[in-house]
Amino acid sequence: MTFPPAARQHLHVDAIRVGYTLGRRSQEIVHGLSFSLERGEIGCLLGPSGCGKTTVLRAIAGFEPLLDGRIVLAGREISRKGDTAPPELRQIGVVFQDYALFPHLSVAGNIGFGLRRLDAAAKRARVAELLDLVGLSAQAHKYPHELSGGQQQRIALARALAPRPGLLLLDEPFSNLDVDLRERLALEVRDILKELGTTAVLVTHDQHEAFAIADRIGVMRHGVIAQWDNAYNL
């Protein structure tokens, strides 16, 4: 398993161990896992349910502490044993499996939700920019329940990208869609991320989805990466 030189690494996950404690019992889910991405690369953790891929994503996001190892983003250590930077200070965007859209907010309202620090004019401009990017300008005033699953997925993506995160995490974002739409949207999402130069990590159990969107793929088994390579070599 080879990593880019340290000077080019944007995300470096270094020998992390992650586990859970239930009562007096503890269980380690991720065992000394490592991978790195350069700025603008899209990585994917591919594997069946229970292999630990979502646990890795949650650790990168700051939702789970590390038992060992460290996570470095843009040269800044954001996690190590006993010290975890809060999720809201990591400059990381997350697209959840169920999209987690706010039903009482319009499309524009959902996209602009995380832009509280901008003045009104700057916020409107950024929302308009993202609406155009994901092809939903005509739906700006509609509500999530009025849109298709594919459109809702694009809203979730635009909302996560709106604050210009240093890293985007995608947790099985296409799993609620039919097969044809899933593969088409995977290609659309890849095009959007590449246009913006956004570094991203996707987790999925779908090989076709992984091959369609990712530059580098980690095949996971039992909490470790069995192989980390590009789609062609895999």
SS3 label, residue 202: strand
DSSP state of 168: E
Q: Per residue in 76-106, pLDDT tens?
A: 999 999 999 999 999 999 998 888 899 999 9
Beta strand ranges found along 75-145 (DSSP E)? 76-80, 83-84, 92-95
What is the distance between the alpha carbons of residues 35 and 136, in angstroms, rounded to a whole number? 35
Token pair 């097969």 is found at 179
Calpha distance 114→9 (Å, rounded): 27
For residue 38, what are the CA distances in angstroms to 10, 26, 73?
5, 34, 10
Contact predicate 171/54, CB 8 Å = yes
- Higher-pLDDT residue of 112 and 26 is 112
* Other CB atoms within 10 Å distance of the CB of residue 206: 18
Whether residue 23 is predicted with pLDDT greater than 80 in this model: the reply is: no
* Predicted local confidence at residue 73, as pLDDT: 96
Mean pLDDT of the chain: 91
Q: So what's the pLDDT on residue 199?
A: 97
Predicted local distance difference test score (pLDDT) of residue 20: 87
Domains of the chain from N-terminus onward: 6-91+165-229 (3.40.50.300)
Task: Give the pLDDT of residue 6.
Answer: 52
Q: How far is CA 132 from the centre of its chain?
A: 21
Q: Work out the pLDDT band at 7, boundaries 50, 70, 90.
A: low
- CA–CA separation, 163 and 209 (whole Å): 26
pLDDT digits (tens, 9 = 90+) for 165-217: 999 999 998 887 887 788 888 889 999 999 999 999 999 999 989 999 999 99
pLDDT at 1 over 70: no
pLDDT-wise least confident of 149-153, 158-162, 179-183, 230-234: 179-183
Q: What is the mean pLDDT of residues 45-71?
A: 96
Question: What percent of the chain shows pLDDT beyond 70?
Answer: 97
CB atoms within 10 A of CB 154: 26
